[in-house]
Structure 1
Amino acid sequence: MPNTEFPSENDAVQNRSAEVNPRAGTLTGEQRAAITELVDSIEPVSEELGDLFSSHGQQLAVVGGPVRDALLGRASNDVDLTTDAVPQRILELVDGWADAVWTVGIEFGTVGLRKRGLQLEITTYRSEAYSPESRKPEVSYGTDIHDDLLRRDFTVNAMAVHLPGHEFVDPFGGLADLRDKVLRTPGRPEDSFSDDPLRIMRAVRFAAQLGFTLAPEVAEAARDMADRLTIVSAERVRDELTKLMLSPDPRRGVELMVELGIAEHVLPEIPKMQLEIDEHHRHKDVYEHSLTVLDQAMDLERERGHGPDLVLRLAALLHDIGKPKTRAFEGGNRVTFHHHEVVGASMSRKRLTALRFSKDVVGQVSTLVALHLRFHGYGKGEWTDSAVRRYARDAGDQLERLHILTRADCTTRNRRKAAALSRSYDDIERRIAKLAEQEELDRIRPDLDGNEIQEILGVRPGPLVGKAYRFLLELRLENGPMDKDAVAAELRSWAAEHLEQEGRRAQ
């Protein structure tokens, strides 16, 4: 492999970087090794591809996230390349060399390919901008890598490594900003956010994901231009929000969204919680309480051996969004939020649907929001087995998440009360586990199926069979498994009473 060249060894690149941005730094030995490792990770494909483009008079470079992550010591699954060749020229160059080629993103200048199991994306140097009313960017191609890096979102993503030769390019001080853990834009942030308003969301996502701060001018521009997010497709906003929620510090991202007015256009229910006092009078406000619940849910997520869980984290953040709509003032300066879990479940469903989350995610989050208060009726363990069965059955496949959410929802500073709540939940989990062993709670069915119901009652398929089935399900939840003769007797008794009532109503 050729010797890697770096800024300290390449006066032309170093001088150009200094002219454009005096903060441009030089790589440390560890960073040089990281860049070498990045290039090695795509060898020999990268060398062959670089030689192929170079021999035809075209430029090629690894760019953006993979370079940033290599310098941060983070793993990256992406291999993003940039070139001065237009898409049709890229297709001509890789024809016969690549094992497979796809053109899904070709309208935005991107060609995908696979070589020896390695997937690459090559994008033509470009600039893109949104017209005031457009939801799709207008793309134009360029011929200079400097101009291509200038149009990228942040300086830490505006670094590249040329192939072949491995020359490191950093014209806007991305290396220095990596060191300082700050997000800046290569040009004016107003221009960057105007070109692609989604970068406003990306800024807070990177803050949560990388632990970076926003440069003052970036934060100011994000605040002033937050309403531009309304022209971005819901799907793109959803994807950024998902990455933010799955980051190591989603709380930081949410706080920035609220602070900069971004949440008003993405999750407007969140800032509305800031002035709502929690019914326990133990928290600054419902907003702070919800962020604490999110933090504690993540702690429990890790303690229980789970990976980052989007559904759980969304449910933790949204579990109390129904409180502003249900707040009522009663005697003695008492504030109530009756049925806020029901209202919150409906609001969660509506918001997540608008953001184009999948039906599964929408349904799971709204179920958790609807059930998050159910445990508080448990008291000192006086629930019957039937009540425990209903709790587990209503949660269904969300039971483990409900366990975590309910535990995380305890944010009281009263240690005795917190310990009592924890013991109570330990108890209900033990009871659920015991009943599950005995009865397979997640697959509870009536002791008689539809055919048996029809046979015992002497009826054909119809509404009566459905009503009988629901009656037997409640009987099963109340009593647990029963002898079939006993169940048949209960069914006949129910049917006789039910038919008698129907007859009286018909008269």
Structure 2
Amino acid sequence: MRPIAVPDKLEIHLTDVESSICDLLNDCSNDLLEQRGIIVTCRIAGGWVRDKLLGSQSNDIDVALSSMMGLTYAEYLTEFARSKGVETGTIAKIEVNPDQSKHLETATFKIYGLDLDLVNLRSEEYADDSRIPTEVTFGTPVEDALRRDITINALFYNVHTREVEDHTEMGLDDLRHGIIRTPSPPKETFQDDPLRVLRCVRFASRFGFDLVQEVKDAARDLYIQEALVLKVARERVGDEVGKMLKGPNPLRAVQLIHELHLYQSIFNVIPQNAKSALLPELHATSKPASLSASSILDTLASFQAPHLLAPHPLLLSLIADDNATKARLYLASLCLPYFGAFYQDAKKKTHPVVTSVIRDSLKFGVQNHYLDGVPTLFSSLPLLKSAMSEHKTAPLDRIKLGLLLRNKLVHNLVTGNHWTTSLLFSLVTDLVPHYDTSDDKFNMDAASEIVASYNAFVNAITDFELQDQVDSKPLLNGHEIGKAFGVTKVGPWVGKALEDVVVWQLGHPHGSKEECTEWLKSRGSSRYITEDTLQSKPAKRIRTK
């Protein structure tokens, strides 16, 4: 992916709404000076300034105040706005929450349909063992700019002068030249808050910008990497990784994670019982496996793979429009070194280690189907690879293919897994041994043969017209099966009958409900119903898939 296009001339062009907000802030500060003799300068800070200079829109406006707390100014501003006939939303006070990087009380409300956050300029001091400031005080614009993560995020827009202020004297040039650097010396910046290492990676991947060498060196420092583990809440690490996965160039983020040796500090912070289940070679294999898989996925998902490596269009049908599915596949690729590793919890129950990586090291839940979807993708691999191998020897018939696609490990919308993405991930893993990360090249003979076998497998599925029948319900439901056998009391025994109905259905794609009923009757009720099954407790819910 090419770097984002930076305009030749860095200027901020306000929309009518943004201009109205700046006018209101300016007039309010003038009123404070006239009525109370208080001087308050308002500067829009951070991402809004950066994005506007790049020609993008932003709906969140963070206002940094020179000499007043955010809530106090917000209350005066809303009263002033209403006196001018401008409606505002209700003020919400965001309390100090260090775990969410809220080190000062912030006031937020809507005005002209946009979200406005107000907080004072600040200076921060840190202890060695925490990324949470030990002291936060009113600061100057320079002090506030120097405490920020990177120079392009440390720019201000003065609403009174309508000018951009670059108090680091590097931000505008870095934006022009596509540079990611810290306002203060990077090791000092990362020692204060190691999470900034990941923010550097995220913004570099988002914009296609380059990290300066000093930032790279500081990020590789073992002390900084240890601090990332010890000082930063795992939720914050997961938040940054999640934004990388859903960003415009997740592969660039993966490449930087490996280049900066951050993999262990991000993914391997798991309980000892899970960590002890890992093979020693994880440290050696994590880079080629996860980087290769991510690179392969990027090649396939870009729709720009060489002709011989182009996967069947069905395999790419979901990731083209579903960013969550794409992010989940990148996460699965990143976690590939943990495939095949299992551990036991305190109750001696066995779990895949990848579950601990996602839950404990990244603090991801089922949102985006990370926690439930990725382990299921891993579990589907043996099934799919076995079926692919069998299909090469003797093509699978419609029934076997249909049952494979309906397997809950291969296709289960509850966990976000679709058979096409399960097959795509299986293809990625099969290509890993044939991809060289050092020169970004495939062994074309071996790789093209593998892709061709997967495409043939999908063609077999479409030849049988199975692609749209994976979620179809059985022709008969539980009560209809009971009626066929003259039984009014249904129970767990119906489950086996439903499975057989699905098998018949797959073998008779044009069969009718009546024909299926007659076939089931011909098998005899004794296959399913005994005195014991009739006495068993009825199922609360009969599965129909």
Normalising by the smaller structure, the TM-score range is: 0.7 to 0.9
Identity %: 26
Give the structure with the higher percent helix. 1
- The answer to whether the 8 Å contact 1:152/1:186 transfers is yes
Q: Alignment partner of 1:156: what SS? A: helix
- The answer to whether the 8 Å contact 2:71/2:93 transfers is no
Superposition pairs of residues 142-181 of structure 1, within 5 angstroms: 142-172=138-168, 173-181=170-178
Q: Alignment partner of 2:216: what SS? A: helix
Give the drift of 1:100.
0.8
- The answer to whether the 8 Å contact 1:386/1:479 transfers is no
- The answer to whether the 8 Å contact 1:294/1:317 transfers is no
Give the drift of 1:163.
0.6
- CA gap of 1:200–1:293, structure 2 versus 1, over 3 A, is same
Give the drift of 1:159.
0.9
> What is aligned with 1:440?
469
> What is aligned with 1:62?
44
Task: Tell whether 2:183 aligns with 1:200.
Answer: no
- CA gap of 1:317–1:261, structure 2 versus 1, over 3 A, is closer
Superposition pairs of residues 159-308 of structure 1, within 5 angstroms: 159-172=155-168, 173-224=170-221, 225-230=224-229, 231-268=231-268, 273=282, 275-276=284-285, 285-300=288-303, 304=317, 305-306=320-321, 308=323
Distance in 1, matches of 2:452 and 2:7, equals 53
> What is aligned with 1:396?
412
Q: Alignment partner of 2:199: what SS? A: helix
- CA gap of 1:140–1:299, structure 2 versus 1, over 3 A, is same
Q: Alignment partner of 1:441: what SS? A: coil
Q: Alignment partner of 2:63: what SS? A: strand
> What is aligned with 2:331?
314
Give the drift of 1:434.
5.2
Q: 1:286-345 deviations in whole A, cap 9, x for unaligned?
A: 34432322322432499754354211221233345326x59xxxxxxxxxxxxxxxxx99
> What is aligned with 1:31?
9
- CA gap of 1:297–1:270, structure 2 versus 1, over 3 A, is farther
- CA gap of 1:240–1:402, structure 2 versus 1, over 3 A, is same
> What is aligned with 2:370?
361
Paired amino acid for 2:50: R
- The answer to whether the 8 Å contact 2:294/2:330 transfers is no
> What is aligned with 1:101?
90
Task: Tell whether 2:122 aligns with 1:126.
Answer: yes
Gap regions ≥5 residues in structure 1? 1-27, 278-283, 327-343, 503-507
- CA gap of 1:237–1:491, structure 2 versus 1, over 3 A, is farther
- The answer to whether the 8 Å contact 1:154/1:183 transfers is yes
> What is aligned with 1:81?
63
Distance in 1, matches of 2:524 and 2:92, equals 63
Distance in 1, matches of 2:158 and 2:59, equals 19
Distance in 2, matches of 1:103 and 1:301, equals 47
Q: 1:243-279 deviations in whole A, cap 9, x for unaligned?
A: 11223332332233234342212113899656349xx
> What is aligned with 2:99?
none
Once the two structures are overlaid, the 10-residue window that deviates more, 82-91 or 260-269, is 260-269
| Aligned partner of 1:53 among 29, 37, 55 | 29
Give the drift of 1:186.
1.5
- CA gap of 1:390–1:437, structure 2 versus 1, over 3 A, is closer
Superposition pairs of residues 352-501 of structure 1, within 5 angstroms: 352-354=358-360, 355-359=362-366, 360-372=369-381, 374-375=384-385, 376-377=388-389, 378-379=391-392, 382-394=395-407, 395-397=411-413, 398-409=418-429, 410=431, 412=434, 413-433=442-462, 435-436=464-465, 440-445=469-474, 447-455=475-483, 456=485, 458=487, 460-470=489-499, 472-473=501-502, 476=505, 483-490=516-523, 492-495=525-528
- The answer to whether the 8 Å contact 2:141/2:167 transfers is no
Gap regions ≥5 residues in structure 2? 1-5, 33-38, 82-86, 97-103, 269-277, 306-315, 343-349, 435-441, 536-545
Give the drift of 1:361.
2.4
Distance in 1, matches of 2:105 and 2:135, equals 8
Distance in 1, matches of 2:63 and 2:492, equals 62
Q: Alignment partner of 1:191: what SS? A: helix
Distance in 2, matches of 1:416 and 1:487, equals 49
Give the drift of 1:158.
1.0
- CA gap of 1:187–1:135, structure 2 versus 1, over 3 A, is closer
Q: Alignment partner of 1:68: what SS? A: helix
Q: 1:60-98 deviations in whole A, cap 9, x for unaligned?
A: 112111222233344444322211220232232223335
- The answer to whether the 8 Å contact 2:190/2:197 transfers is yes
- The answer to whether the 8 Å contact 1:112/1:120 transfers is yes
TM-score by length of 1: 0.76
Distance in 1, matches of 2:456 and 2:125, equals 58
> What is aligned with 2:272?
none
Give the drift of 1:45.
1.8
Q: Alignment partner of 2:238: what SS? A: helix
Query: What is the RMSD of the two structures over their aligned residues, measured on CA atoms?
Result: 3.6
Distance in 1, matches of 2:240 and 2:78, equals 34
Equivalenced residues, count: 447
